[in-house]
Amino acid sequence: MHDQPSTPATGSQAPAHLSQRRVLAVLVAGQILGGIGMGATLSLGALLAAALSGSPAWSGMAATMSTLGAAAAAVPLARLAQARGRRVSLSVGALVSAAGAVTAVSSAVAGIFPILLAGLALLGAGSAVSLQARFAAADLSTPGSRGRDLSIVLWSTTIGAVLGPNLFGPGEVLGSSLGLPPLTGAFVFSLAAQLAAAAVYLTGLRPDPLLELKRLRAAGAGDASPASKRSGFRILRTNAQARYAVAVIALSHAVMVALMSMTPVHLSSHGASISLVGFTISLHIAGMYALSPVFGWLSDRAGRHRVILLGQGLLLAALIVAGTAADSGAAVTVSLVLLGLGWSASVVSASALVSEAVEVPERPAVQGVSDLGMNAAGAAGGALAGPVLTAVGYSGLGYAAVLLVAVILAWTAAGARSGTRTHTPFDTAF
């Protein structure tokens, strides 16, 4: 495996190091603000959907539309980053999410349910920004710190995600004072948070990490590398390493969403209290993010593929526990914690591998397709989990999801036998 940092191609290591520290600080601030914006509205979006549609059956459309919106924004934002840099791409995505908050409030004022769905889809751009920010953290990283830097930005999302739901009460007070309909006050906080995030990205990402990376590469090569005109899908067809990394992210996310989304339903049907359900999901979210810097550091030291295998092992353990002890609330909680840890190890390491597997001009295109695949797989996993749960129960769902883990384990083993995973050709200092 290619685990050791290589020698910088230019003499600009110190300036790049200083730029990277600034980039990380800006991205962390933007992620916290973006997390507040998303956390303050997604749960209320489900309640608002039920209220405007007149049926609780439509409440699930809040998460669905947000996920679809994130998927739809992934490739356009990646293309914008490729053409104009991360600064413009991330700020535009945050502004689109802010427009979604305005649209959602407008839907409640007008009492029109389809407008709410459009607003929730626009809000999903905030999730796309969050995913792209982790790749922005990797632009100026060296191979020896790429996983760590990426994971720090991923971890910072939890701060805003935890703070956001605590704004429900203040949001209702604010909304009432502004004469807004019930359940819409928190969207005002989301609007303010996304506007602030856009301002942070627009003013703070100077120099732009992706454009600075291209400049450093051009200086080291003695000429400017032309921007790639190939789409991310075309690149993946010819790059086995990138294809593998994108598949790990998508399938790991599908496994996580499928089991996590059905856990509240399963626990509630077995008499668990709302408090216990909430506690279990909180521990799951902690597993997803709290140790991500540890997995990032470990992927830098032990290698991307080894940590991917660790992540798949944790996912497999989670699914086996869910399958064999579904009637135990304690076992289900353990399963959800393992599920979060497995997701974290797999996504952090595979995201670093995505950035290392392709040349610099092609990175944004592949990263955009990766985010698209991640959101699409999550949406599919959540949509299919319900019918599977109905047909074969929670245990059967756990066993069914093992098939997705088996795909990654087999793919990893095949890569090891063929030797295709021993080297990432573009894994250089920047």
CA–CA gap between residue 248 and residue 234 (Å, rounded): 18
CA–CA gap between residue 40 and residue 30 (Å, rounded): 15
- Per-residue confidence (pLDDT) for residue 20, from 0 to 100: 85
CA–CA gap between residue 95 and residue 83 (Å, rounded): 18
CA distances from 34 to 6, 187, 217, 429 (A): 34, 13, 31, 30
Region 100-112: mean pLDDT is 94
pLDDT band, residue 267 (cuts 50/70/90): confident
For the stretch 277-292, pLDDT in tens is 778 877 888 888 889 9
Length of the chain: 430
User: Between these two residues, 91 and 189, which has the higher pLDDT value?
Assistant: 91
Which residue, 381, 427, 371, 290, is CA-closest to 126? 371
> How many CB atoms are located within 10 Å of the residue 423 CB?
10
> How many CB atoms are located within 10 Å of the residue 102 CB?
16
Question: CA dihedral defined by 208, 209, 215, 218, rounded to 10 degrees?
Answer: -150
% pLDDT > 90, the chain: 48
CA distances from 246 to 94, 297, 349 (A): 24, 20, 11
CA–CA gap between residue 58 and residue 79 (Å, rounded): 33
Cβ-Cβ contacts under 8 Å for 283 (sequence gap 6 or more)? 333, 336, 337, 340
CA distances from 142 to 17, 210, 329, 351, 362 (A): 9, 14, 43, 14, 18
Classify residue 151 as left (phi > 0), alpha (psi -120 to 50) or beta: alpha
Delimiting residues of CATH 1.20.1250.20 domain(s) in the chain? 1-222, 234-423
Region 3-11: mean pLDDT is 37
- Per-residue confidence (pLDDT) for residue 260, from 0 to 100: 87
Q: Where are the alpha helices (DSSP H) in 178-239?
A: 185-204, 209-221, 232-238
CA–CA gap between residue 347 and residue 157 (Å, rounded): 15
For the stretch 399-424, pLDDT in tens is 999 999 999 999 998 876 665 554 45
pLDDT band, residue 16 (cuts 50/70/90): low
Decide: 354 and 249 in contact? Cβ < 8 Å.
Answer: yes
Decide: 97 and 31 in contact? Cβ < 8 Å.
Answer: no
- Per-residue confidence (pLDDT) for residue 396, from 0 to 100: 95
CATH 3.40.50.720 fits 1-222, yes or no: no
For the stretch 235-264, pLDDT in tens is 899 999 999 999 999 999 999 988 988 888
Residue 13, pLDDT > 70, answer no
Chain-wide mean pLDDT for the chain? 85
Residue 26, pLDDT > 90, answer yes
- Per-residue confidence (pLDDT) for residue 121, from 0 to 100: 92
Residue 82: alpha-carbon gap to chain centroid: 19
Residue 2, pLDDT > 50, answer no
Decide: 381 and 258 in contact? Cβ < 8 Å.
Answer: yes
- Per-residue confidence (pLDDT) for residue 18, from 0 to 100: 63
Segment holding 315, helix H or strand E: helix 304-324
Region 51-55: mean pLDDT is 85
For the stretch 73-85, pLDDT in tens is 999 999 999 899 9
Residue 136, token pair as written in the block: 């922005």
Highest mean pLDDT among 1-5, 112-116, 282-286 belongs to: 112-116
Decide: 87 and 201 in contact? Cβ < 8 Å.
Answer: yes
% pLDDT > 70, the chain: 87
For the stretch 285-323, pLDDT in tens is 888 888 999 999 999 999 999 999 999 999 999 999 999
> How many CB atoms are located within 10 Å of the residue 6 CB?
13
For the stretch 201-229, pLDDT in tens is 999 998 899 998 888 877 765 444 555 56
Burial 208-236 (b: 16+ CB within 10 A, else e): bbbbbbbbbbeebeeeeeeebeebbeebb
Region 123-131: mean pLDDT is 91
| DSSP structural state of residue 112 | -
Decide: 168 and 182 in contact? Cβ < 8 Å.
Answer: no
Cα angle: 173, vertex 105, 56; to 5 degrees = 90
Residue 404, token pair as written in the block: 């997705």
Least confident span in 144-158, 169-183, 211-225, 392-406:
211-225
Residue 335, pLDDT > 90, answer yes
Q: Which CATH superfamily is domain 234-423 in?
A: MFS general substrate transporter like domains (1.20.1250.20)
